[in-house]
Amino acid sequence: MVKVTYIAADGTETTVEGKTGDSVMHTAVSNDVDGIVGECGGAMMCATCHCYVDEAWTDKTGERQSEEDDMLEGAASEVKANSRLSCQIKLTPDLDGLVVHMPEDQF
Ligand code: FES
């Protein structure tokens, strides 16, 4: 199992355990974490899974793909350098302890 901590815009932290291979979005949705919606089910069609990867983890989660970039630029607000679609971050043992922050307007 891989632990992921989700930090809401108001500072509320929720730590859950996900399975290797599952996405950060799926892990949030299946554990009822507020702030990650995942409306399209991970098909890169909605950007309601927008998150900010904590600065300490950006090297491990890697770069966003160009399709991800396009969707974020077109549909998400307040895109930052560490913005990702959480449906595109798959859990690996290396990501155990991952911390992501949720945008303010994603409820
Ligand atoms: S769940 Fe729709 S883009 Fe990630």
- Domain with 50, as residue range(s), is 2-101
With a 6 Å cutoff on the Cβ, whether 46 touches ligand 1 is yes
Mean pLDDT for the stretch of residues 20-27? 98
58 inside domain: yes
10 inside domain: yes
106 inside domain: no
Q: How far is the CA of 66 from the centre of ligand 1 (A)?
A: 14
Q: How far is the CA of 47 from the centre of ligand 1 (A)?
A: 5
Give the amino acid at 62: G
HEC string of 1-22 equals CEEEEEECCCCCEEEEEECCCC
77 inside domain: yes
CATH code at 91? 3.10.20.30
Q: How far is the CA of 86 from the centre of ligand 1 (A)?
A: 7
Q: What's the confidence (pLDDT) of residue 107? A: 58
Question: Which of 11, 18, 9 lies closest to 96 in space, CA to CA?
Answer: 18
pLDDT of 85 over the 90 cut: yes
Rounded Cα–Cα distance for residues 51 and 57 (Å): 13
Q: Read off the pTM.
A: 0.94
Q: What's the confidence (pLDDT) of residue 48? A: 95
Mean pLDDT for the stretch of residues 85-104? 97
pLDDT, tens only, 27-83: 999 999 999 999 999 999 999 999 999 999 999 999 999 999 999 988 888 999 999
84 inside domain: yes
Q: What's the confidence (pLDDT) of residue 76? A: 81
Q: What's the structural domain count of the chain?
A: 1
How far lies 51's CA from each of 58, 101, 103, in Å?
A: 12, 6, 6
107 inside domain: no
